[in-house]
Structure 1
């Protein structure tokens, strides 16, 4: 998936500019919700973004992080293969694999081995990011399994995997958007997703 710039962290402006609906956990989740970050393409169009639920993820896998209970939902716009804005090339299409990769990297950026020296973190993260991409590119093989969860009340199949740092899942919605999610301390098996009716409600919560 083409690298995108990140804008509007913690503010609702970027979310409001998205040409697609945002998804979050459904009403069964009664804990705190918050804005995280949106990603935009070279032409400024919002292409994906994340919404947080539960605890603020600790930045590393230490004793405090082990107590975290959170789930982050990633919404990715459905984009077919398309010409770039300047007409000089072709932009990569988005897919369920795009959502799986963004979710996998999202989990990695919020946790890393406690015993690791801080100076080695960038190398480790690069290696793990590449691994996340390889895994996302082959969703029909181990360690992925299939998990069915409700999206706007409709049973929807997701690709699901667990790691020592948490879990990752990815699937597609009836609206055409792709969904990714990652978390720790909250079981993915009990989650449900729905379109966010008022994205501003996630601001300053």
Structure 2
């Protein structure tokens, strides 16, 4: 699968709970360094918007990032399908990935991997896992669970034409756009490409994906950190 550098997307460590972006990573500065447009939910969504974090390629350039919408998940709380928390957490996260070919690093010492729709699908799948901790699971088993689920997200993202995915048409900048879409007991994941030269992934829980629309973020500073 063509995907982003392993340096830019790591699964959270289960032992310490899901990864919480640091205050530095949640400032707007990293987003402003990106040479590509950021995507979020369109103006039909009127709820809270918040920054998450950006991801860097091996040469230090901004390659992807995420912005959140709705109720910011209580990261360290356990999530169990069907639990009361399911009704309380209503959020959608949009992941923007620069559409890059295989290219040489800035210092000329190596190659940077290409990005694709599969990159966006994998980042969205891992993102959903970072806010998901099954209830009634022994603490010692969570590392194994997370490793297994992360590998599953990778395999699924590498086979977007497989039976686990369906096709969903959603507006992007007002234009109907096809997305690869899947659901699980933990939430939903989707991924597609835009006319603006970026790939878009998204994941969420408690908010239906079917009524969403995406648009270029006009002012990233409007998202709180």
TM-score bracket relative to the smaller structure: over 0.9
Q: CA RMSD in A?
A: 1.5
Residue from 176, 191, 197 that aligns with 1:176: 197
Structure 1, gaps ≥5 residues long: none
Question: Within the alignment, does 1:29 sit opposite 2:27 as a pair?
Answer: no
Question: Within the alignment, does 1:138 sit opposite 2:138 as a pair?
Answer: no
Structure 2, gaps ≥5 residues long: 10-21
Aligned counterparts of 1:84 and 1:65: Cα–Cα separation in 2: 44
User: What is aligned with 1:75?
Assistant: 96
User: What is aligned with 2:79?
Assistant: 61
Q: How does 1:40-51 map to 2 (within 5 A)?
A: 40-51=56-67
Give the TM-score of the pair, scaled to structure 2.
0.87
Aligned counterparts of 1:83 and 1:121: Cα–Cα separation in 2: 38
Aligned counterparts of 1:53 and 1:40: Cα–Cα separation in 2: 22
Aligned counterparts of 2:84 and 2:115: Cα–Cα separation in 1: 35
How many angstroms does 1:87 deviate by?
2.5
Contact 1:57 1:65 in 2 (8 A): no
Deviations 1:143-201 (Å, cap 9, x if unpaired)? Answer: 10000000000000000000000000000000110000000011000000000000001
User: What is aligned with 1:151?
Assistant: 172
SS of the residue 2:94 aligns to? strand
Give the TM-score of the pair, scaled to structure 1.
0.95
